[in-house]
Amino acid sequence: MGQNIQGKFNAAQNEIRLAIMEFIINEGRPFNIETDGFHALKNIKLSTINDFHGIIDILASKDGLVADEEQDVNFIYPVSALETRHKVTLADGRNFYAMCAIDAIGATFTFHQDTEVHSVCSVCEEEVYVKMQDGKAVAHNPNNLHALTFKLEELVNWAGSC
């Protein structure tokens, strides 16, 4: 089994990764590496502005984030700054789009809170709902819901592939 995304990075790298996710969720737009930069990230304790670009390079090289040519971070697992078919509502009331339905379900573990997922099946186009509570799926629709996943290592660029 492959390594989870958090396990790929050290504490300072994960702190920056989570702060960028929080920025995207709170601001409702992509995080721009150059114009938003280190100063836009709140409550950073483990790294400095001098560490910032090195950490961004590591996150990008290990598929922790995907930035476009304008330096906008559009994907930072599991958060998508672009609209997708997979909307997550956190217990704290905030909403965001996930990169895929599996990522949407996993957001409960990333943000350490209960979530609700509204998605659409990529095969039959049926609406999908999953409620995660205390790390478990406590409600879902349709009743015969099944989820399939695959190793991300099989793709060169996995962002937005779902």
Q: Are residues 145 and 89 in the same domain?
A: yes
Q: Are residues 71 and 105 in the same domain?
A: no
In a domain, 162, yes or no: no
Q: Are residues 70 and 91 in the same domain?
A: no
In a domain, 160, yes or no: no
Which residues 6+ apart lie within 8 Å of 1 measured at CB?
none
68 pLDDT higher than 70:
yes
In a domain, 1, yes or no: no
Q: How far is CA 37 from CA 19, 27, 40, in A?
A: 11, 14, 6
Among residues 81, 64, 68, 77, the alpha carbon closest in space to that of 13 is found at 64
Q: Are residues 37 and 11 in the same domain?
A: yes
Q: Are residues 12 and 49 in the same domain?
A: yes
Percent of residues, the chain, with pLDDT higher than 90: 72
> Which pTM does this prediction carry?
0.86
Q: Are residues 48 and 16 in the same domain?
A: yes
Q: Are residues 28 and 88 in the same domain?
A: no
**Per-residue pLDDT reduced to its tens digit, 89-137:** 999 999 999 998 888 999 999 999 999 999 998 888 899 999 999 999 9
Q: How far is CA 112 from CA 84, 126, 133, in A?
A: 22, 28, 10
Q: How far is CA 87 from CA 6, 10, 11, 66, 152, in A?
A: 22, 28, 28, 19, 21
Among residues 138, 87, 134, 130, the alpha carbon closest in space to that of 113 is found at 134
Which residue among 76, 102, 131 closes a domain?
76
Q: Are residues 54 and 84 in the same domain?
A: no
Specify the 3-state DSSP secondary structure of 128.
strand
Which residue among 24, 59, 76 closes a domain?
76
In a domain, 159, yes or no: no
Q: Are residues 46 and 68 in the same domain?
A: yes
**Per-residue pLDDT reduced to its tens digit, 1-23:** 455 788 899 999 999 999 999 99
The reported pLDDT for the residue numbered 158 is 47
In a domain, 161, yes or no: no
Supply 123's token pair. 């095969």
Q: Are residues 92 and 134 in the same domain?
A: yes
Which residue among 54, 76, 98 closes a domain?
76
Domain range holding 17? 6-76
Average pLDDT, the chain: 88
Q: Are residues 99 and 65 in the same domain?
A: no
* Helical packing angle, 11-27 and 49-61, nearest 10°: 90
Specify the 3-state DSSP secondary structure of 133.
strand
